[in-house]
Amino acid sequence: MTNVNLHLVVPDPLAVPSPERNEPIMEIFGLAKRYGKNEVLRGVDLTLRPGRVTAVVGPNGSGKTTLIKALLGLVRPDSGQIRFNGTELAPNDIAYRARIGYMPQAPRFPDHLTGREILALLRDLRDASPESLDRSLLEAFRLDPELDKPLRTLSGGTRQKLNAVAAFLFRPDLVILDEPTAGLDPVASVALKDKVAARVADGVAGLLTSHIVSELEVLADDVVFLMEGQVRFAGSVTELKDAGDGRLDRAIVQLMTEKE
C-alpha cells in the first residue's frame, strides 16, 4: 500500500488488474435474450472476479451456451449491460476479446490447415509477439509433433488439446471454458486443471460450464445455477455443498428438481 508508483499509473481499461484490487473483470446486469417466443435469458446478473472461477450449471437448454455467446458478442442480447474491466461494452466492441481465452465445446477447425497455422492465425489477429505467449500447455500436452498435421486427420481429443492451448496462449484476463475436459484423456485433463488453477492463482478470472461434478468441486469457487434463463442460485461452492448435506452432486440435483 505504500507503493507510490501505483498512483502514477494511468488506468488502462484493458490492462491486467492486479489481484489485490478485487474489482470485477466482467460484470453483467439484466441480460435478456429471446428467440421468437422462446425467452432464453431472462435478466441474468453475473460478476466474474479476478482469482475466482465461476461455474455456470443448469439443465440442458437452460441458457448456459447463450450466456457465454452473449459475453463473447456472438449473440446480440436484447437488453442488459456487460462491463469488461470496468468499461461498458458497446455492441461492436472487439478489443476486449483479445483479453479473453475461449475454449468452445467440441471445436472444428478448417480441414486443411495445421495446428501451427491456427495458432499463428490467432496470434496474427492480436499482433502478439512470440515471446509474450504462454506455451506451457503445449509442452504439458506434448502437442508439438501433432502441430504440422492437417487438422482433419487429428482425433477429437487432440483438437480439444489445441483448443485448450489456444485459450491460454495469450495470457488472458478471463478464460471461458465450455465443457473443457470432455474428450480429453486423464493425463491431459489433469494438466488442464492444473493450468486453470495456476492461472487463477495469478489473478485470472474463470467461467466454466461442466456436467462433471468432481470437476466443479476441484475448479470452481462460485456457482451460478441457471434454469429457464434465470439465475436460481448464486453463491460459493461451500454454501451450495452445505445445502446438500456436504455433497455437491446432491445439492445440484436438488436445485434441478426443485419446484419454483
Partner 1 sequence: MMDVVSNRSSALRLLSYELRDVLRGRWAIAYAAFFLLVTDAFFRFSGGGEQVVLSLVNVVLILIPLVSLVFGISYLYNAREFTELMLAQPVRRRDLFLALYGGLVLPLSLGFVAGVALPFAWHGAAAEHAGPLVRLLASGVLLTATFLALAILLATRFDDRVKGLGAALFVWLGLAVLYDGLVLLVAYTFSAYPLETPMLVMTALNPISLARVSLLLSMDIAALLGYTGAAFEQVFGGGFGSVLAFGTLLVWVLIPLALAFRRFSRKDF
- Tell me which residues touch partner 1 (CB under 8 A): 33, 35, 69, 72-76, 92, 94-98, 100, 102, 104, 106-113, 117, 121-122, 124-126, 150
Q: From the CB of 130, what's the least distance to partner 1, in Å? A: 16
CA-wise closest residue to 170 among 97, 71, 248: 97
| SS (HEC) of 181-204 | CCCCCHHHHHHHHHHHHHHHHCCC
DSSP per-residue letters across 188-255: HHHHHHHHHHHHHHTT-EEEEE-S-HHHHHHH-SEEEEEETTEEEEEEEHHHHHHHTTT-HHHHHHHH
What lies within 8 Å, CB to CB, of 188 at 6+ separation is 140, 141, 157, 161, 164
Which is nearer to partner 1, 72 or 190 (by Cβ)? Answer: 72
Which is nearer to partner 1, 69 or 241 (by Cβ)? Answer: 69
Which is nearer to partner 1, 74 or 187 (by Cβ)? Answer: 74
Q: From the CB of 166, what's the least distance to partner 1, in Å? A: 8
Q: From the CB of 245, what's the least distance to partner 1, in Å? A: 39
Which is nearer to partner 1, 124 or 260 (by Cβ)? Answer: 124
Q: From the CB of 97, what's the least distance to partner 1, in Å? A: 5
Which is nearer to partner 1, 52 or 69 (by Cβ)? Answer: 69
- Distance from C-alpha of 55 to C-alpha of 215, rounded to nearest angstrom: 10
Q: From the CB of 8, what's the least distance to partner 1, in Å? A: 27
- Residue 84's beta-bridge partner residues? 26, 87
Nearest-5° Cα angle at 215, 209 to 218 = 120
